[in-house]
Amino acid sequence: MQEFIQLIVSGLANGGIYASLALALVLIYNAMGLVNFAQGEMAMFATFIAFTLIDRGLSYWIALPLTLVIAFAGGVVIERVVIRPVERAPVLTLVIVTLGLATLINGTAGFLFGYSPREFPSPFSVRAVNLLGAFVSYRDLGVIATSAVVLVLIYALLQRTTLGLTMRAAAYHPEASRLLGVRVSWMLALGWGLASAVGAVSGIMVAPVLVLDPNLMQTIIIYAFAAAVLGGVESPLGAVVGGLIVGVTVNLAGAYVPFVGGDLQLAVALAIIVAVLVVKPNGLFGRATVRNV
Amino acid sequence: MNIAMQRLRSAPPRYWLVLVVAIFFVGLPTVVTSFQSSEWTLVLIFAIVIMGLNILVGYSGQISLGHGALMAVGAYTSVILIHRYHINYLVTIPIAGLLTGVVGFLLGIPALRLSALYLALATFALAVVTPSLIKRPVQLTGGVQGLFIAAPDPPQFAKDAFGAVTGGAVMTSDQWFYYVTVVIAMVLFWFAWNLVRHRPGRALRAIRDREVAAASSGINIAGYKTLAFGISAFYAGIGGALYGLTSGSVYPDSFPLALSLALLVGTVIGGLASIAGPLVGGIFTFWLPIVSGQFVASQPWIPAQIAAVFKNAGPAVTYGALLILIMIFAPNGIVGLITSGYAFLRRRLRRPAERETGQAQPDPETV
Amino acid sequence: MAKTGSRFAAIVASLVTLVACGGAAGPTVATDVGVTSNSILLGSTMPLSGVAVTYATIAGAEQAYFTYINNQGGVNGRKINFKVVDDMYIPAQTTSLTKQLVESDQVFAMFGGLGTQTQTSVRDYLNSKKVPQLFVTTGATTFDLDFGKTSTADSSIKWNYTIGWQPPYQGESRIYAKDVLANHAGAKIGVLYQNDDYGLDYLKGLTDGLGSNASMIVDKESFDATAPNVTSQLVKLHASGADTLFIFAIPTPTITALATVPALGWKPKQIYINSVSNVAKYMQIAESKGASMDGAISVAYLKDPTDPQWASDAGMQLYKTVIANCSTCDANNGYNIYGVAIAYTMVDVLKQAGSNMTRANVFSIASSQLNESNPFLLPNVTVKTTSSDHFPIMQEQVIQWGGHAWHLQGSVIDERGTIK
Q: In this predicted structure, what is the pLDDT of residue B162?
A: 83
Task: Give C123-139 pLDDT, tens digit per residue.
Answer: 999 999 999 999 999 99
Q: In this predicted structure, what is the pLDDT of residue B322?
A: 78
Question: Which of helix, strand or coil describes residue B304?
Answer: helix
Q: In this predicted structure, what is the pLDDT of residue C33?
A: 87
The reply to whether A210 touches chain C by the CB within 8 Å rule is yes
Q: How many CB atoms lie within 10 A of CB A125?
A: 12
- Tell which wins on pLDDT, C319 or A266: C319
Q: In this predicted structure, what is the pLDDT of residue B310?
A: 58
Specify whether the CB–CB gap between C88 and C55 falls below 8 A: no
**Pick from C15, C27, C152: CB nearest B148:** C152
Looking at residue C412, what DSSP letter applies?
A: P
Q: Categorize the per-residue pLDDT at C9 as very low, low, confident or very high, splitting at 50, 70 and 90.
A: very low
Q: Is A68 a residue whose pLDDT tops 50?
A: yes
Rounded distance between C-alpha atoms, residue C194 and residue A256, angstroms: 19
Q: In this predicted structure, what is the pLDDT of residue B315?
A: 65
Q: In this predicted structure, what is the pLDDT of residue B305?
A: 60
Query: Chain C closest CA to B298's CA: distance in Å?
Result: 11
Mean pLDDT confidence for B18-44? 86
Cβ-Cβ contacts under 8 Å, C224 against chain B: 132, 135
Q: Which of B142-151, B213-222, C202-211 has the lowest mean pLDDT?
A: B213-222
Cβ-Cβ contacts under 8 Å, A127 against chain C: 290
The reply to whether B129 touches chain A by the CB within 8 Å rule is yes
Q: In this predicted structure, what is the pLDDT of residue B311?
A: 61
Specify whether the CB–CB gap between C371 and C386 falls below 8 A: no
Task: Give A138-178 pLDDT, tens digit per residue.
Answer: 888 888 888 888 888 888 888 889 888 888 888 888 888 88
Q: What integer best gives the mean pLDDT of chain C?
A: 87
Mean pLDDT confidence for B135-155? 85
CATH topology match: C33-167+305-389 vs C169-300:
yes
**Pick from A17, A110, A261: CB nearest C222:** A261
Rounded distance between C-alpha atoms, residue A151 and residue B305, angstroms: 44
Rounded distance between C-alpha atoms, residue B340 and residue B344, angstroms: 6
**Pick from A85, A110, A273: CB nearest B313:** A110
Q: In this predicted structure, what is the pLDDT of residue B4?
A: 72
Rounded distance between C-alpha atoms, residue A7 and residue A23, angstroms: 24
Strands (DSSP E) contained in C168-238 are 189-194, 217-223
Q: Is A211 a residue whose pLDDT tops 50?
A: yes
**Pick from A10, A220, A263: CB nearest C231:** A10
Q: In this predicted structure, what is the pLDDT of residue A1?
A: 76
Cβ-Cβ contacts under 8 Å, C251 against chain A: 117
The reply to whether A282 touches chain C by the CB within 8 Å rule is no
Pick the CATH number of C33-167+305-389 from 3.10.50.40, 3.40.50.2300, 3.40.50.12160, 3.30.365.10: 3.40.50.2300
Q: In this predicted structure, what is the pLDDT of residue B170?
A: 80
How would you classify residue B218: left for phi > 0, otherwise alpha for psi between -120 and 50, otherwise beta? left
Spatial CB neighbours of C64, under 8 Å, sequence gap ≥ 6: C322, C323, C324, C325, C326, C329, C339, C340, C343
The reply to whether A90 touches chain B by the CB within 8 Å rule is yes
**A279-283, C54-58, C370-374: range with highest mean pLDDT:** C370-374
Q: In this predicted structure, what is the pLDDT of residue A113?
A: 86
Q: What percent of chain A stands above pLDDT 90?
A: 28
How many residues are recorded in chain C? 420
- Predicted TM-score (pTM) of the model is 0.85
Rounded distance between C-alpha atoms, residue A118 and residue A47, angstroms: 11
Query: Chain A closest CA to B308's CA: distance in Å?
Result: 10
Q: Categorize the per-residue pLDDT at C13 as very low, low, confident or very high, splitting at 50, 70 and 90.
A: very low
Spatial CB neighbours of C385, under 8 Å, sequence gap ≥ 6: C163, C366, C367, C368, C369, C370, C391, C392
Residue A36 lies in a domain: yes
The reply to whether C200 touches chain B by the CB within 8 Å rule is yes
Mean pLDDT confidence for B214-243? 89
Q: In this predicted structure, what is the pLDDT of residue A177?
A: 86
Q: Is B357 a residue whose pLDDT tops 60?
A: no
Helix, strand, coil content of chain C in percent (nearest 5): 45, 20, 35
Residue B366 lies in a domain: no
Mean pLDDT confidence for C328-341? 90
Domain count, chain A: 1
Q: Whole-angstrom distance between the N-terminal and C-terminal Cα of chain C?
A: 77
Cβ-Cβ contacts under 8 Å, A115 against chain C: 53-54
Residue A280 lies in a domain: no
The reply to whether C95 touches chain B by the CB within 8 Å rule is yes
Specify whether the CB–CB gap between A110 and C88 falls below 8 A: no
**Pick from A37, A97, A106: CB nearest B324:** A97
Q: What percent of chain B stands above pLDDT 70?
A: 86
Q: Is C23 a residue whose pLDDT tops 50?
A: no
Q: In this predicted structure, what is the pLDDT of residue B358?
A: 53
Cα-only R_g, chain A: 19
Question: Which of helix, strand or coil describes residue C79?
Answer: strand
Question: Which of helix, strand or coil describes residue A238?
Answer: helix
| Closest by CA position to B246, among listed B286, B278, B281, B284 | B286
Residue B94 lies in a domain: yes
| Single-letter residue type at C127 | N
Specify whether the CB–CB gap between A11 and A136 falls below 8 A: no
Phi, psi (5° rounding) for residue C173? -75, -20
Q: How many CB atoms lie within 10 A of CB B138?
A: 12
Q: Categorize the per-residue pLDDT at C3 as very low, low, confident or very high, splitting at 50, 70 and 90.
A: very low
Q: In this predicted structure, what is the pLDDT of residue A243?
A: 93
Q: Is B1 a residue whose pLDDT tops 70?
A: no
Task: Give A228-281 pLDDT, tens digit per residue.
Answer: 999 988 888 999 999 999 999 998 988 888 777 777 888 888 888 888 888 888
Q: Categorize the per-residue pLDDT at C21 as very low, low, confident or very high, splitting at 50, 70 and 90.
A: very low
Task: Give C135-146 pLDDT, tens digit per residue.
Answer: 999 999 999 999
Q: In this predicted structure, what is the pLDDT of residue B151?
A: 82
Q: Categorize the per-residue pLDDT at A9 as very low, low, confident or very high, splitting at 50, 70 and 90.
A: confident
Taking CA C259 as the corner, what is the angle to CA C257 and CA C262, rounded to the nearest 5 degrees? 105
Q: Is A46 a residue whose pLDDT tops 90?
A: yes
How would you classify residue C109: left for phi > 0, otherwise alpha for psi between -120 and 50, otherwise beta? beta
Mean pLDDT confidence for C168-182? 92
Residue A132 lies in a domain: yes
**Pick from A103, A108, A225: CB nearest B121:** A225
Q: How many CB atoms lie within 10 A of CB B153?
A: 12
In DSSP notation, A154-198 reads HHHHHHHSHHHHHHHHHHH-HHHHHHTT--HHHHHHHHHHHHHHH
Specify whether the CB–CB gap between C341 and C58 falls below 8 A: no
The reply to whether C294 touches chain B by the CB within 8 Å rule is no
Specify whether the CB–CB gap between A9 and A134 falls below 8 A: yes
The reply to whether A126 touches chain C by the CB within 8 Å rule is yes
For residue B103, what are the domain limits?
2-357
Question: Which of helix, strand or coil describes residue B203?
Answer: helix
Cα-only R_g, chain B: 22
**Interface contact A220-C233, CB threshold 8 A:** no
Q: In this predicted structure, what is the pLDDT of residue C5?
A: 45
The reply to whether C152 touches chain B by the CB within 8 Å rule is yes
Task: Give B295-332 pLDDT, tens digit per residue.
Answer: 555 666 656 665 565 566 666 777 788 788 888 888 77
**Interface contact A266-B136, CB threshold 8 A:** no
Residue B283 lies in a domain: yes
Specify whether the CB–CB gap between C111 and C346 falls below 8 A: yes
Q: Is C298 a residue whose pLDDT tops 70?
A: yes
Cβ-Cβ contacts under 8 Å, A103 against chain B: 261, 316-317, 319-320, 323
Q: In this predicted structure, what is the pLDDT of residue A88?
A: 79
Rounded distance between C-alpha atoms, residue C3 and residue C7, angstroms: 6
Q: Is C29 a residue whose pLDDT tops 60?
A: no
**Pick from A17, A110, A255: CB nearest C236:** A255
Domain count, chain B: 1
Show me where the domains of chain C are located.
33-167+305-389, 169-300
Task: Give C376-386 pLDDT, tens digit per residue.
Answer: 999 999 999 99
**Interface contact C288-A119, CB threshold 8 A:** yes
**Interface contact C259-A118, CB threshold 8 A:** no
Fold category of C169-300 in CATH: Rossmann fold (3.40.50)
Q: Is C22 a residue whose pLDDT tops 90?
A: no
Residue A106 lies in a domain: yes
Residue A234 lies in a domain: no
Phi, psi (5° rounding) for residue A209? -80, -40
**Interface contact C290-A10, CB threshold 8 A:** no
Specify whether the CB–CB gap between A181 and A171 falls below 8 A: no
Residue B367 lies in a domain: no
Q: In this predicted structure, what is the pLDDT of residue C27?
A: 36
Rounded distance between C-alpha atoms, residue B53 and residue B67, angstroms: 8
Backbone CA torsion sign across C264, C269, C272, C278? positive
- Tell which wins on pLDDT, B346 or B359: B346
Q: In this predicted structure, what is the pLDDT of residue C416?
A: 87
Cβ-Cβ contacts under 8 Å, B135 against chain A: 263
The reply to whether A258 touches chain B by the CB within 8 Å rule is no
Mean pLDDT confidence for C324-329? 87
Mean pLDDT confidence for A45-73? 93
Mean pLDDT confidence for C106-113? 95
With CA atoms as reference, the chain B residue closest to C200 would be B144
> Measured over all CA atoms, what is the biggest interatomic distance in chain B, rounded to whole angstroms?
73
Query: Chain C closest CA to B150's CA: distance in Å?
Result: 5
Provide the number of CB pairs (under 8 Å) joining chain B to chain C.
135
> Half-sphere exposure of C68 toward its Cβ, with a 13 Å CA cutoff?
20
Specify which residues C110 forms β-bridges with: C43, C133
Q: Is C281 a residue whose pLDDT tops 50?
A: yes
Cβ-Cβ contacts under 8 Å, B57 against chain A: 92
Which positions in chain C have a beta carbon within 8 angstroms of at least one beta carbon in chain A? 49, 51, 53-54, 195, 221-224, 226-233, 235-236, 238-239, 251-252, 255-256, 259, 262-265, 281-282, 284-285, 288-290, 333
| Crossing angle of helices A2-32 and C231-239, rounded to 10° | 170
Residue A157 lies in a domain: yes
Q: Categorize the per-residue pLDDT at B362 as very low, low, confident or very high, splitting at 50, 70 and 90.
A: low
- Tell which wins on pLDDT, A290 or C82: C82
For residue A208, what are the domain limits?
2-217
